Structure 1
Amino acid sequence: MNQSNMRSRHLLFSSSSSPISTELATQNTRGSPNFPSKELWAGFLVTLVAMVAGVVLFTCLKRQCLKKWKKSTKGVNLRKLDLRRFHLEELQKATMSFNKECLLGSGAFGNVYKGVFDNDQVFAIKKSHQSSYQTILEFRNEVELLSRVKHSNLVGLEGYCDQQRRRKPLTWRQRVNIAIGAAKGIAHLHEGVKPSIIHRDIKPSNILIGEDFEAKVSDFGLVKSGPMDGQSHVSSQIKGTPGYLDPSYCASYHLTPFSDVYSFGIILLQLVTARPAVASTRSQSRYHIIDWARASLEKGNVADIIDANLLTEPCNMDMMLKMGQLGLKCVIKSPKNRPTMIEVVRELEEALEATKSYECKQEPRVSSHESIEKDEGLSFSINGIGLEKFQVENDGLSINSASMQCFDVNSIILGERDDLKIINGGNDGAHLGTSNVVLL
């Protein structure tokens, strides 16, 4: 059978004007018609069926992932509530683009601004921080809950703004480059300086992304000198960000470079899935992204958990699977069984090198409602280098700007998520005070 297949392939691709095979040449000399052999037709049909089956399988997987994504983001229908839906432009105009002169106060949840609208109504506009909501579903649930609160001594909900910014999803290759760059930076802290340095707060918002998607690790406010001679460092206080903290470190107070490896493993999982590290919307057994993604990655079914935005353009599923599985290696329960950051870099680079034969035959498609834009609200600079926030939002990775950005969680995007707002107001809406509040 193998010989027949080899002959079929030869017959299919030969461009010689001479007889294509000895068998056909013999048949021709005997006066037989010069028709393709049965083996050739069989091979052609098998190839055709395999191609069709592959296309059908890919389409089914794509639809399945998109269906799961839509289901996971489906929540309260805010349009059915008796609330006004404000446009972001209205709020910007009412607050002079959220000018500091309109700032009334700030807190852990967000900032409160005084907003004056065209009809002379005055509202307090509360603009949430990007970390205030893990998902859009949390925001919608809060709006629905507050809409039911009506009392003369309580702030009433007047409306909301959930306008989404237009963003361009990151490609699979850009995500891999971000992972490699960040891994190299962390590896240098661990093994490139003496004594070594443990970052202790590796998370998306502490990774800056440049124009060429070169990642730079930032925010060294919690750094600690590493232990000498491979010994662990006993910490008197647990520090870090929930969701990214190494459970072994939390249990023993022993800090090692492998605690950073654990945190980086969470980031790898997020680059593949674009999901928050922890989410109250998931079942208790899958509350953490590790538990949510583990089963699919161990079975090799990365399509079950991959960011749906990656399916809108050519994506190397093997690379995404390897990156996700490497993330699981980084979060192994026993720190000593985790790879070092040097090993993480090597595995990522080897996996990427293996994809060189993968060629995108079409340009990335950007829908008509997507664009690259700059978010001035989170712009800042270090040594003249423009930096911006880069975040993982609800279900996708995208960028807002081509300057330097900071990587954070909720859809993988660049820029601040200032599209989640709630408008609170009183009965008359005439005076600013406890009865008129706008929450963003």
Structure 2
Amino acid sequence: MNTQDSASAPSRALGREDYKTLSLSALGGTLEFYDFVIFVFFSATLGHLFFPSTLPDWMIQLQTLGIFAAGYLARPLGGIIIAHYGDKLGRKQMFTLSIFLMAAPTLVIGLLPTYEAIGVAAPLLLLAMRVLQGAAIGGEMPGAWVFVSEHVPPRHSGFAVGALTAGICGGILLGSLIAIAINRSFAADEIAAYAWRVPFILGGLFGFISVYLRRFLSETPVFRELAAKRALAEEMPVKTVLREHRGACALTGAYTWGLSTAVVVLILMTPTLLQKMYHIAPADALEANCVGTLMLVLGCGAFGWLGDRIGMRLTLLVSWGGLALSAYHFFTALPGGVSYGELVFNYALMGFFVGAIATMAIVGVRAFPPAIRYSGLSFAYNVAYAIFGGLTPVLTQLWLQKDPLAGAHYVGLVSVLAMLLAFTPLASWGWGKAHQR
């Protein structure tokens, strides 16, 4: 069982310092995840600028997507290394380092010379910066979840993790809004000439602001107590994780599958699917997606709060059950044709239940004891995301060739798995309203 944090009595209400920690952490998560996803919004432009124009268009797209995917492949290694020192040296130091490692390469991407200026060095430098971004996000997200959960009283940890996840998802919304603003403010030739650099330079500046703001955060009470008792992991934390916590890794990995499926299929792939399969105007599809993403942010906070009120088991059933039903409602309504208002409403409803992804972080944080919590969550989450985040778009695209409801079926499958896992014996460490550290 996890040790109780004496510094945060379960009955204590959230105070001013708690809200400051949550606010600064969520803002940092928004800005850092913006840095990670802004690449995808300008991938077409980057492809034509960083590869020779003599290449076929399909090859340019393939190589650009390969560089984008490299960020995901770097996540496990970066997460393991950063988490190792997070369990050894402290949460705050690594929490600040990870956002610095994201801000620097994002700014550099915005300043890179193109293929026309330096030849093959351009895509190689772009690849190197993307790998650094992946390593940074691999340490940031698990570290952020651990950081906020250990700062608040146990009975409020669900809300804290949900609020942080909402902030992280806000980075997707911010990226979408800035991409829309750039495309509306500049002509295509202006974007190719210089305007594509603006969102990356902004991202770098956002990141450095977050580094500064995190100076005002304090180390978590849980880590301070472990250090005072000399109860920190004596061996490499990930070795302990693999030897003694394989069940927790499997549980966290399974919920990460659900998280990656919900985000990739319903938030990232669906706008393109709406345009190509159902001939919905690009502007309508993107606007509906923005509303859905906004509701995702609200859903994360709502389901985190609900977990503290009614317990995680029931919250898992409500959130993932709602996700399966709303996804089927969304996709089955499309073949008959929907009005703009119906499209936006259905996407908003589905987006709210995509907020079920916050339960993955709550489950993962509670699954591991404090001494190896950062490493355990980081290892399980990043390895699972590298696998499922890469396979999901491929599997979904192949499935769509045979069934237009493939997206709903896939989301329904992982949602049922998430609900079944709510009853697993692995949950013996506590699904109740109040839980141990």
Please say whether Structure 1 and Structure 2 have the same fold, judged by a TM-score greater than 0.5: no
- Structure number, greater radius of gyration: 1
What is the TM-score with the length of structure 2 in the denominator? 0.24
Where relative contact order (Cα < 8 A, 6+ residues apart) is larger, the structure is 2
Greater helix share, structure number:
2
What is the TM-score with the length of structure 1 in the denominator? 0.24
